């Protein structure tokens, strides 16, 4: 199946693997997705939409078993604080629904900040832009595709 995310990867000549899984709309957690595709949660990265009080909207990419460290991200972006965007705004801002948000092919090119743990793996998993499909690719290729900045923005839940 082709999505905007996979089309972007194809256009950039980036190799990837797709893994499909059964979607439970009542449990869209990254930990559940990780179990369904056979990877540890720390290797499955979720994309969260956050808004800074000065800089606007950002995409924060953190491991499935972590959450965004708002203070660390705010320091990085020059904001006083950043907060998760209300779920009702996510689709309007990104073009994606919860469980399918990805920095690949979002509605606008928001700044992307990925937690430094992304570089610990040879292969990571991110949403393919739809629920039920994950893209597996190298972290370097992903960061190049989304023009991402790597920093310590994640923390354990």
Residues 11-31: pLDDT tens digits? Answer: 999 999 999 999 998 999 999
Q: What's the pLDDT tens digit per position in 34-67?
A: 999 999 999 999 999 999 999 999 999 999 999 9
CATH topology of domain 4-156: YbaK protein (3.90.960)
**pLDDT reading at 1 higher than 80:** no
pLDDT band at 77 (very low <50, low <70, confident <90, very high): very high
Model pLDDT, residue 17: 97
User: Which pLDDT band holds residue 151 (cuts at 50, 70, 90)?
Assistant: very high
Q: What share of the chain is helix, strand, coil (3-state, %, to 5)?
A: 30, 30, 40
Residue spans per domain, the chain: 4-156
What stretch of H or E contains 144?
Answer: helix 139-146
Query: Nearest to residue 72, comparing CAs of 81, 62, 85?
Result: 81
């Amino acid at each position: 199946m082709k999505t905007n995310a996979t089309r972007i990867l194809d256009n950039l000549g980036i190799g990837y693997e797709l893994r499909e899984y059964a979607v439970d709309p009542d449990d869209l957690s990254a930990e559940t997705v990780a179990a369904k595709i056979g990877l540890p949660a720390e290797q499955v990265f979720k994309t969260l939409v956050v808004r800074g009080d000065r800089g606007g909207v950002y995409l924060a990419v953190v491991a499935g078993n972590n959450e965004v460290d708002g203070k660390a991200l705010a320091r990085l972006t020059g904001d006083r604080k950043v907060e998760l965007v209300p779920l009702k705004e996510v689709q309007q801002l990104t073009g994606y629904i919860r469980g399918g948000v990805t920095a690949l092919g979002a509605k606008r090119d928001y700044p992307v900040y990925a937690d430094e743990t992304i570089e610990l793996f040879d292969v990571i998993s991110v949403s393919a832009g739809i629920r039920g499909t994950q893209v597996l690719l190298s972290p370097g290729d992903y960061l190049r595709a989304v023009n991402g900045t790597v920093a310590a923005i994640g923390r354990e839940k």
